[in-house]
Chain A
Amino acid sequence: MRKIVIPGEIIESGESYLPGEGTEKRGEDIVSIKYGLAEESNKLVKVIPLSGVYLPRRGNVVIGKVENITFNGWVVDIGTAEGAFLSLSEVPRYIDKNGLDELMGIGDMMIAKIVEINKRGIDLTIKVRGLGKIEEGLIVKINSNKVPRIIGKEGSMISIIKDETKCDITVGQNGLVWIQGATVEDELFAKKAIMFIVENSFVEGLTEEVKRWFKEEKK
């Protein structure tokens, strides 16, 4: 079952159904609390949002912008209401406390990972390989709910885009995508491909559609 539901709408009714994400159980009814795509499997009913702001989760790789520098780290904007912070101790090399802005200054972009979410906010790290300051390239912003479609099952979709456009691409779970290619043309081509996927995110067999699209575009 795949159908669009709105808040307050009863999706399934019956004792055996379980309320998953985006739903609530009221008596025997599983009721949607979001506008989204309702899916049921093994009696678990959930609603996948079509829209709305990014909901951060531990372990997410995100792309953010330095908003401020404090005495012991960077305040980073990753598009969430809660603030995100990268502490000095989460950087893979020794930084003198006077040298923070030499590594990254206000306005610089970075790829980071969410280590922890607590009452104070979101803690980030760049200690893992592949994370760190973004020196150049293009940042594209999409709705974070479309990120799974851009990545694809086990990264299948993003691999196709990388191969066809010859670009390095990192997709942040918060909806920011970093593209770096040999030429600006290649980068814009990758951006175009991403926007195509976003616009057709509901199509079944999207992978085939995308392959077809690339063939057409390259003519």
Chain B
Amino acid sequence: MAKKDSFERPDGRAVDETRKMSAKVGVVENADGSAMFSFGDTVAIAAVYGPRKMHPQHMQDMEKGTLRYNYNMFSFSVTERIRPGPSRRSQEISKISQWAIEPVVMIDKFPGNVIDVYVSIIQANASTRCAGINAAALALAHAGIPMKDMVSSVSIGKLDKQLVVDLSKAEEDWEEGEGATDIPITMTGDGKITHIQLDGKIETKQLKEAVRLARKACKDIYEIQKKALKESVDLKEK
């Protein structure tokens, strides 16, 4: 079980506490939908264009349409500059992020067309793909794309033997004991897992617990996302 009192996290958080989150939609005017999402110092923005014509034509999926996800990090989002342009890491994250969101997007309503999701990380303090997915889900909803549900994403970590929620960079680099295990997870609003990855060393019993911790955290994230969407409209009720 999570020892709430005795384990000290570098920033003083409780073991099951996420960093302060913030979310906002409508941050890129030109886009059909857009949003920003942050976990503490990790800041992601997402913009959605579509559904629109797909080029090149031969890549069109005439049966159900395509969701394209492009993740990139600003060169100065990290302490050691990243050369601009796609990397193997960003391409992989783009693909698993697309898989994380596609199950809830009703792309069968857009045969032959494409919905483009562009995610940029402006400032990085670990959990960037999770912040990106949270921003992307918001941007898709904001763009009026038909979706069965929202998705929410968070990283669960194991620092030595202790499970924690929402890894920061300092925790990603944890060296004591068994070091750090990083488990980013994405879930739908009704608790189905659309994405899970793992880096490190963990026994199945604790892994099951990690997934349950993620479920709780994703519920909190869902509330933040819901609030951002609802508050972007001032109904001006008299």
Q: Which residues of A contact B (CB under 8 A)?
A: 2, 4, 6-9, 22, 24, 33-36, 49-53, 81-83, 145, 200, 202-205
Query: Does B32 sit at the interface, judged by CB under 8 A?
Result: yes
Q: Evaluate contact between A4 and B229: CB separation under 8 angstroms.
A: yes
Q: Evaluate contact between A51 and B110: CB separation under 8 angstroms.
A: no
| Bound CA–CA A81/B50 (angstroms) | 8
| Bound CA–CA A202/B216 (angstroms) | 35
Q: Evaluate contact between B226 and A6: CB separation under 8 angstroms.
A: yes
Query: Does B113 sit at the interface, judged by CB under 8 A?
Result: yes
Q: How far is the CB of A164 from chain B (nearest CB, A)?
A: 22
Please pick, from B112, B146, B226, the residue contacting A33 in the complex, using a CB distance under 8 A. B146
| Bound CA–CA A133/B236 (angstroms) | 40
Residue in B closest to A202 when the chains form the complex, CB atoms: B235
Q: Evaluate contact between B144 and A49: CB separation under 8 angstroms.
A: yes
Q: Evaluate contact between B143 and A52: CB separation under 8 angstroms.
A: yes
| Bound CA–CA A81/B116 (angstroms) | 12
Known interface pairs A4-B235, A51-B32, A204-B237; A33-B147 also in contact (CB < 8 Å): yes
Q: Which residues of B contact A (CB under 8 A)?
A: 32-33, 50-53, 104, 106, 110, 112-114, 141-150, 188-190, 225-226, 229-230, 233-238
Q: Evaluate contact between B53 and A34: CB separation under 8 angstroms.
A: no
Excluding A22-B146, A51-B142, 17 further A-B contacts by CB distance (< 8 Å) are A4-B229, A7-B141, A8-B104, A8-B149, A33-B147, A34-B144, A35-B144, A53-B50, A53-B51, A53-B52, A81-B50, A81-B52, A81-B53, A81-B112, A202-B235, A202-B236, A203-B236
Q: Which B residues touch A9, using CB under 8 A?
A: 226
Q: Evaluate contact between A145 and B144: CB separation under 8 angstroms.
A: yes
Q: How far is the CB of B188 from chain A (nearest CB, A)?
A: 7
Q: Evaluate contact between A7 and B147: CB separation under 8 angstroms.
A: yes
Q: Evaluate contact between B149 and A202: CB separation under 8 angstroms.
A: no
Q: Evaluate contact between A50 and B233: CB separation under 8 angstroms.
A: yes
Q: Evaluate contact between B144 and A51: CB separation under 8 angstroms.
A: yes
Q: Evaluate contact between B110 and A81: CB separation under 8 angstroms.
A: yes
Residue in B closest to A204 when the chains form the complex, CB atoms: B238
Q: Evaluate contact between A202 and B32: CB separation under 8 angstroms.
A: no
Q: Which A residues touch B104, using CB under 8 A?
A: 7-8
Q: Which B residues touch A52, using CB under 8 A?
A: 32-33, 143-145
| Bound CA–CA A34/B141 (angstroms) | 7
| Bound CA–CA A72/B64 (angstroms) | 30
Residue in B closest to A77 when the chains form the complex, CB atoms: B53
Q: Which 3 pairs, one residue from A and one from B, show the smallest C-beta to C-beta distance?
A: A52-B144, A8-B149, A7-B147
Residue in A closest to B145 when the chains form the complex, CB atoms: A52
Q: Which A residues touch B142, using CB under 8 A?
A: 35, 51
10 contacts between A and B (CB under 8 A): A2-B235, A8-B148, A8-B189, A34-B147, A35-B141, A49-B144, A52-B143, A82-B112, A83-B53, A202-B233
Q: Which B residues touch A145, using CB under 8 A?
A: 144
Known interface pairs A6-B141, A6-B150, A204-B238; A35-B229 also in contact (CB < 8 Å): yes
Q: Evaluate contact between A6 and B233: CB separation under 8 angstroms.
A: no
